[in-house]
Structure 1
């Protein structure tokens, strides 16, 4: 208990130091900066503003009230993190739920870790801290990944190192942003899972995505049932596409293809569109077989 009291008193002492205009700390090199930066300081809650870079825009009111009740009973157990932006002015980097809940119960001060960071560093800290949360929906995570890539100018490989996630995991989340906005909203509201979203993203046409999305909602389809519907839709689209784009192969071309097959020692296939253009397909069974065909084409 004595240790906790000492820690709290230290926080109040540092708070007084920060309110001294003759000792205003603007950078990590300033006098007394080493005493403040990284320490837990009791800050006036009114001296803190929300982070404009906060990637999270929605907060569950019931969960916020529960947290407020806990804070009223036990206090703020985990300090928030802020960055100093001016004399006795701070901006949230992480801990907005704790900050909001503390204001709800009327706290005048809140324990905080102080950082000195520029806008880009603040954005990165907020985004990375946000990604580590357990209660984010897949679209929130995808949007945070996209912002880190775009606004911090990271590559997927660098992002993978920063957050400790595989590149394939990051890519799967980012692909969700190609879904129709209505479906993205459905995922954010919890009507379907990331598994449903990953199945739907295989459909290129947004109207097809929406059609199956409506069936998922209406019939409470599982991810496996959704994947089956997507496959059936793709097969149907593929079949109709082939019918509309391919044409009968003219006799003279058929004869030439037969000669090609004999020459290459492989069953050569041909596809001809209604416009008259087409392609030859020469299969090979191995790298050695490929090299054999290559020599025949080059006339060696």
Structure 2
């Protein structure tokens, strides 16, 4: 049977609640065509697909599964002309099937407008568990900008909290280089949220990645930068000496600055074991807190 069950498993439970342009969905579903097989060369991806990154290891795993069991869930496609079909939902399966060298794929052919196809693609991607935070945030932004959906409506339809959606949308305010680090998995959404209020999010992001700092340490680092009113990693001593600090020293400065919530500078004499560490506090309260931490009280 190819009715509402096919649509639900292929498009997600929130689709009908969000799509404003689909009229009489129940009638459309009752007359939906049955599953059929199409030659894989007649199927093409949607050029406006919002998802641009596909994890290669995940595709490898899916291709291995398809080789053994075939494509269990049919693709949703729409007809674009004679022997020409465009993917509405299921591009990941289409890519993996090509890797598995399949010659035909199970599909369900339906009629959708360009607007509906884009909205379906966005919602399907949002509901995927492996979507990175930036892609998810971009999906929410598209639904709001292009279709006028509110955060409340999306939260209700997609089973997400409004705060979850709001927090992800804030990530889009970050500089492009920080966004790229999140997309690459170098930074988590928690790291990125902590960096939103930083004066120099790009500089701090690099330090966080280099030092392997936790989200809590990143929050402390941002607080320290705010207290100082300048880039916490600017080091006038090293510039006067005309030398650059090595990566290990910079990482140690970052760790200590994050742990204390204050700017820490380390000056190590080249070729020796002596050096100097300075801690800069911004108020007497900071000094009291530093004394408390050093005394262990």
| Equivalent of residue 208 in structure 2, options 210, 216, 227 | 216
Residue 209 of structure 1: CA displacement? 0.8
Q: Which runs of 4+ in 1 moved over 4 A?
A: 33-36
| Equivalent of residue 92 in structure 1, options 72, 79, 87 | 87
Of structures 1 and 2, the one with the larger relative CO (CA 8 A, separation 6+) is 2
TM-score in terms of structure 2 length: 0.64
The answer to whether 1:42 aligns with 2:34 is no
Residue 51 of structure 1: CA displacement? 1.0
The answer to whether 1:233 aligns with 2:202 is no
Structure 1: runs of 5+ lacking an equivalent:
1-5, 8-27, 239-300
For residues 155-206 of structure 1, what are the alpha-carbon distances to aligned partners after superposition, in whole Å with 9 as ceiling and x for unaligned?
A: 2223223322222211111100111111111111111110000100022x3x
> Considering only aligned residues, what root-mean-square deviation do their CA atoms show, in Å?
2.4
TM-score in terms of structure 1 length: 0.64
The answer to whether 1:52 aligns with 2:47 is yes
Corresponding residue number in structure 2 for 1:107: 102
User: How many corresponding residue pairs?
Assistant: 207
Residue 56 of structure 1: CA displacement? 1.1
Residue 234 of structure 1: CA displacement? 1.7
Q: Structure 2: how far apart are the matches of 1:158 and 1:118?
A: 22
For residues 244-280 of structure 1, what are the alpha-carbon distances to aligned partners after superposition, in whole Å with 9 as ceiling and x for unaligned?
A: xxxxxxxxxxxxxxxxxxxxxxxxxxxxxxxxxxxxx
Corresponding residue number in structure 2 for 1:63: 58
Q: Is the 8 A contact 1:131 1:144 kept in 2?
A: yes
Structure 2: runs of 5+ lacking an equivalent:
3-22, 231-297
Q: Is the 8 A contact 1:37 1:116 kept in 2?
A: no
Q: Structure 2: how far apart are the matches of 1:157 and 1:82?
A: 30
